[in-house]
Chains A and B, each alone.
Chain A
Amino acid sequence: MTVLLWGVPTEPPVAMVTRELTELDADLVVLHPQAAAGQQVQVLIGAAGKPGVAGMLHANGRRVDLAGVVGAYLRPVEPGLVPELRGRAETAPELVHARRVHDALIGFTEVAPLVSGCRVVNRLSAMASNSSKPFQAQAVVRHGFATPETLVSDDPDEVLEFVDRYRDVVYKSCSGIRSVVTAFDPTADRERLDRLRWCPVQFQERVAGPDVRVHVVGDEVYAALVDTTAIDYRYARAQVGSDARLSSYRLDDHLAARCVALASDLDLPFAGIDLKLAPDGRVVCFEVNPSPGFSWYESETGLPIARAVARWLLGG
């Protein structure tokens, strides 16, 4: 029962899943991106004319048979962003090798679920749905959730009309790049609107009501209610002077089932779904995070998310 943990071991989500897998007696192989120099991977697809994946992984002084890997938890770091490799020439041997290890692990984790039933949280190709929030929104609507009224535009006049219509408007990135959700200030921001000509920006109606973060693990849900007046609760201390308070929250069965179906449709066994319970009764979905940094929610609420991920990786 070998499980790969591909990420920085001290990063809280990786550390928490590691701890839970250890308690479940899993055989763990931690693949630290900073240790790529000492890692070697050989992958074989379709050996002996049969579909399947085989190969060997050499890491941490161990030799691991890839055919025996039952699960993989992915929080990788792009090789060019690893501190020791940052700024190296593309042809630098250590960066070239790190990229090859990266490629091999991506390839293995893409194919293994298809041919050997290996459980991967989450395949990088599936994570890509988060590269476009408007694209994700189209999937969200198919599952019966509302999405905020949204305008992505490079036209200042159109943006001002949108602001006039919805009054309370926020802006943020529409790609997977993290940004702070910020309220549009009709006075201060008006001067900057000409910059939109260079690149469209996403504006949304600001939806009132409490935030609920739903972690889906397989067919289980773990929801947390967020209490704050901040626009972006992740940055509540900076925005309103105190951290958001989190508490566990019981979703009704129908809503829970829709969350599971949405994550499944996006091919994400593990997902963090951001909802807002609007006063008008709408359940508004903002996005589905394919690599949830769940540690804060778990430590504040006691929700056993890491345990659920560990169990899922082991086939439970």
Chain B
Amino acid sequence: MLLVLCGLDDAGALWFGRRAIEAGVDCRIVTTEELSYVARLSHRLGGGGVHTTVELVDGTLLVDDVVAGAGRVSGVLHRMLEPPARAWQRAAPAERDYATMELHAVVLSWLRGLPCPVRNRPEPDCLAGPVRHPFAATAAAHAAGLRCPTVRFDTAAPLGPADALLAAAATAAGQQARAVHLACLDGDVIAAGVPDEIVAGVSAFATEIGAGEALIGVDFVVGPAGWWFAGVTPLADLRAGGGDLCGRLVDLLAPTLAGAIR
């Protein structure tokens, strides 16, 4: 079984999950909202390793990488940006914040400890996977050989760091520039018509930021002055990656059904 964990508003992940099901892949979508109201959550660590049990309210029982009565989980597409804390949405802020932090801690450890392939495994500073501060991402892109604009952040100006990077890239790319989002899975750019040097640069960039085993989205602004690095996200646009990206994900996360989607 391929498991998709995502927010109810993650149209890309829901699209991927539906497409996988239509192609005959044994795929189960579990939303952040469902995980917010589980029947049971148990996470154990110690001499016996890491073990997690999640029981959903519909009776689905997930024990480590096995779904009771349905077999082994072959892989997980994980897209949750926030921990499953919807039940605390209307609680007093201090209580809500505490519970959210605790749930973040459990989910982080759970998904890091799963024995099957997970894209993306969470990182301590971002549940959805590898992420870097825009300044650090720019430095990594530079090191990877991608063309980067000069980013100016000034406490007297209105733009935040990510917007300052995007604005700088747009300025550098020149007039009539367009935004291009590239999905990169385990270091491979999944897109056609991308210049070789950009493909190589994105691959090196993924390594630089520790995303060699991750699905990331890398943003560029492309114009008369070439391709300019504009940012990175751990939530790649799955629909932009199309059938090729879906196929690669299924190959990785449900290998017995390799080739089911293209």
Contacts and interface: CB of A to CB of B under 8 A. Distances in A.
Interface of A: 39-49, 51, 53, 97, 100-101, 103-104, 106-108, 110-111, 114-115, 124-125, 128-135, 137-138, 146-155, 158, 173-177, 198-201, 205
A111 B106 contact: no
Interface in B94-116: 98-99, 101-106, 108-109, 112-113
Contacts of A201: 102
Nearest to A205: B46
A131 B148 CA distance: 32
B92 interface: no
Contact of B134 (A107, A128, A131, A134): A107
Interface of B: 38, 40-47, 50, 87-88, 98-99, 101-106, 108-109, 112-113, 123-125, 132-136, 138-140, 142-143, 148-156, 160-161
A157 to B, nearest CB: 10
Contact of A154 (B40, B88, B161): B40
A53 B150 contact: no
B49 to A, nearest CB: 9
Contact of B105 (A47, A103, A111, A175): A175
A131 B44 CA distance: 17
A147 B156 contact: no
A114 B139 contact: yes
A4 to B, nearest CB: 15
A42 B152 contact: yes
Contacts of A137: 45, 109
A43 B153 contact: yes
Given A138-B109, A147-B46, A153-B41, A129 B136 contact: no
B106 A134 contact: yes
B233 to A, nearest CB: 16
A100 B45 contact: no
A139 to B, nearest CB: 9
The list of the 6 closest CB pairs from A to B, nearest first, reads A134-B109, A128-B124, A132-B105, A175-B101, A149-B46, A128-B125
A103 B159 CA distance: 11
Given A40-B156, A43-B135, A152 B43 contact: yes
A176 B161 CA distance: 26
25 contacts: A45-B135, A45-B139, A46-B148, A46-B150, A49-B150, A103-B153, A103-B161, A114-B139, A128-B124, A128-B125, A131-B108, A132-B104, A132-B109, A132-B124, A134-B43, A135-B105, A149-B46, A152-B109, A153-B42, A154-B40, A154-B42, A155-B41, A173-B102, A174-B109, A175-B102
B135 A108 contact: yes
B42 A174 contact: no
B153 A104 contact: yes
Contacts of B142: 46, 51
A151 B95 CA distance: 21
A296 B33 CA distance: 44
A33 to B, nearest CB: 14
Given A46-B148, A46-B149, A111-B136, 20 more contacts: A41-B153, A44-B151, A45-B139, A51-B143, A53-B139, A107-B161, A131-B124, A132-B109, A134-B105, A135-B124, A138-B112, A138-B113, A152-B42, A154-B42, A173-B101, A174-B109, A175-B101, A175-B105, A177-B98, A198-B99
Contacts of A44: 150-153
Contacts of B38: 154
Given A46-B150, A125-B133, A151 B44 contact: yes
A176 B153 contact: no
Nearest to B156: A40
